[in-house]
Amino acid sequence: MINENHSYIEKEISAACEKHNINRSKINLVAVSKYNPVSSIIEAYEDGLIHFGESRAQELKDKAEQISLDIQWHFIGHLQTNKVKIVVENSDFIHSVDSIKLAAEIQKRAANIDKIQNIFIEVKTSGEDSKFGVSEFKDAYELADYCTEAKNIEVIGLMTMAPYTDDEKVIRNCFSTLRNLKDQLNKKNSSITELSMGMTNDFKIAIEEGATYLRIGSAIFGERNY
Ligand SMILES: *Cc1c(COP(=O)(O)O)cnc(C)c1O
């Protein structure tokens, strides 16, 4: 099932790229494996996937310790400072950095193990209370600035989640807001290149709006059992 799902998604991504004149190789597919077993990750890896996304620190650690394949681990869930050590020790990318306090802890833990931690700054583009992320330009700017100065942090991009809705306009607006924010930040002092946006429900719109990291779970692994 995973390989059929993966080839279906891959076809959809390629078609969207072709339609909008986007180079397929600019887009990274993060297979969101949260709540799915190690066996499914191995199956997906054998089918050619190398980026995997997890949303809980302990689950990430357990899986990373059990699997000794050449996988890029992405932490995509909300991150609390008391979990930073585990996540820094086990992830290649953190997509959910939303405060200077959190960034300071990442800097400290990454320095301890002599690592440069790749991060995305999470931006709340939807206005929804249930979502995390910085929502004002000033906060995004200050956080990007802080992270750029931090020796053990590499800011590679911005991340957002659109609301779960059928209203394409609302979704598109979130994604274009993120892209515009990247351009605004880069006018100041940043060199942010990547946009982490688009999930099972909305990845085609995300591609059209410039996504470079798609985070797709259920379309690859099936519905999750929580
Ligand atoms: C779970 C999750 C995803 C994947 O969601 P699907 O709808 O299953 O593709 C992507 N991003 C984040 C932040 C998530 O928590």
Straight-line distance from the first to the last Cα atom of the chain, in angstroms, rounded to the nearest whole number: 20
For helices 168-188 and 137-149, the axis angle rounded to 10 degrees is 50
Q: Which ligand 1 atom is at minimum distance from the Cα of 218? A: 8
Instruction: Determine the distance separating the centroid of ligand 1 and the alpha carbon of 214, expressed in angstroms.
Output: 9
217: closest CA among 196, 203, 201, 200? Answer: 200
Give residue-wise pLDDT tens across range 170-210.
Answer: 999 999 999 999 999 999 878 999 999 999 999 999 999 99
CA dihedral 84, 156, 126, 55 (to 10 degrees): -40
Give residue-wise pLDDT tens across range 26-67.
Answer: 999 999 999 999 999 999 999 999 999 999 999 999 999 999
Secondary structure letter of residue 134 according to DSSP = B
198: closest CA among 174, 182, 177, 220? Answer: 174
CATH class of 2-221: alpha beta
Mean pLDDT across the stretch 97-105?
98
Instruction: Determine the distance separating the centroid of ligand 1 and the alpha carbon of 182, expressed in angstroms.
Output: 22
pLDDT value of residue 7? 98
Domain boundaries, the chain: 2-221
Q: Which ligand 1 atom is at minimum distance from the Cα of 224? A: 8
Instruction: Determine the distance separating the centroid of ligand 1 and the alpha carbon of 212, expressed in angstroms.
Output: 15
Ligand 1 proximal residues by C-beta, below 6 Å:
32, 34, 55, 76-77, 161, 199-201, 215-219
Q: d(Cα 78, Cα 94) in Å, to the nearest integer?
A: 10
pTM for the whole structure: 0.97
